[in-house]
Amino acid sequence: MDRRLLEKLKTGEVGFHKIDKKPDTDAAIELRRAAVSELTETEFSHIKNYSFDIEKVTDRNIENMIGAVQVPLGVAGPLRINGDYANGEFYIPLATTEGALVASAHRGCSVISSCGGANARIFDDKMTRAPVFMTKDVIGAKRLVEWVKENFARLKEKAEATTRFGKLLSIYPFVAGRSVFLRFSYDTKDAMGMNMVTIATDAAVDLIISENDAELVALSGNMCTDKKPAAINAITGRGKTVSADVVLNREIIREKLKTTPEKMAEVNYRKNLVGSARAGSLGFNAHAANIAAAIFIACGQDAAHVVEASNAMTLMELTEDGLYCSVTLPSLAVGTVGGGTGIGAQHECLSMLGAAGAGDPPGANSKKLAEIVTAAVLAGEISLIGALAARHLAKAHAELGR
């Protein structure tokens, strides 16, 4: 190890980012790790262990790398799904440190599969980016909005010239005084698409500001809305808008969940609907973020998009012989190419689901993953509501959560 360079890293004379590939990637990682170890007086015996391709990861996924963090990976299933893209039995990879979560999801999968499986359907698919412009006054704002409507075809051509697969679907304006937000929506096929739509929108912005008396304030004006709780995502959607449902048999509920349809319907109404409304929540569900986060981490998704996934609404309605259960995720941002999806372990988890890489036709794999995530969220909702109805939640966490 180059001790002189290590000392320069510790003093800040040389920045962490300055030593990539000097002399090589392995050596740079080791030097940074040694510097942090000595600066923080921490011995690293775990983070230095990893199996992925560091050249690929440091080129695409991480800066100032010093190692890797391992998250325990469990499996739930099989989960029977009757979707347009996900059709069959699936074993769901769940990366989490929360005891009882995988066991709960596994129970929900068993309940759903015993009742014929969950139906899953995608109702919308679009990734958004919304730049904000400033005009002189509201007259200029109206003029800009009208120009965008009249020149949509030109903007579409400009945006799509930056990508092989992305397609501009629409541009919807939102005005606040002389601030004009233009919400661009794209079909991004198998990619989650944030990088794609950012680059494409930036190209379209060049055309807008070249022909209008308007100033670009920011390429993202928070009307997108990316990685933050927002009613616009819950109402109009972002990423995939997906629903899954199943009718649970009364006997299966009694046998596997140790409760009744009536008690589960009451818990869902008082907790997920009334309780969420009283709290002013954007999500009307029990713990959709739990399942979404565990699958996101396992499958190389952007974990921050769990915020949008948590917008889910869970419904439970009594039927003649059981309980109708559904979950709707209006803003599920997932992809099977790009981001962390190509990293070794994450790629293997996507392969477990038959959704690794680009789909045929393009977009099929990301839609398949979206249906799987939504059905898995439904399994988690059913299991937790069942546990609350049977008053088993504390017991389960005492035994498994420790």
Catalytic residue positions?
98, 302, 397
Q: Identify each DSSP E strand in 236-284 by its residue range.
A: 239-249
Q: Which pair of structure tokens corresponds to residue 283? A: 């999500």
* CA–CA gap between residue 106 and residue 237 (Å, rounded): 29
- Single-letter code of the amino acid located at 354: G
> Among candidates 255, 225, 260, which has minimal Cα distance to 331?
225
Q: How far apart are CA 53 and CA 115, in angstroms?
A: 42
Closest CA to 158 of 191, 202, 220, 212: 202
315: left (phi over 0), alpha (psi -120 to 50) or beta: beta
End-to-end CA distance of the chain: 42
Q: For residue 126, give the H/E element and its range.
A: strand 118-129
DSSP string, 55-87: HHHHHHT-SS--------EEEEEEEEEEESS-E
User: Of the candidates 314, 295, 312, which has an alpha carbon nearest to the alpha carbon of residue 303?
Assistant: 295
Nearest CA to 48 out of 80, 26, 81 is that of: 26
Strand duo 118-129 + 73-83: pairing: parallel
Is the separation of the CB atoms in 384 and 267 below 8 Å? no
What is the Cα–Cα distance from 278 to 211, expressed in whole angstroms? 48
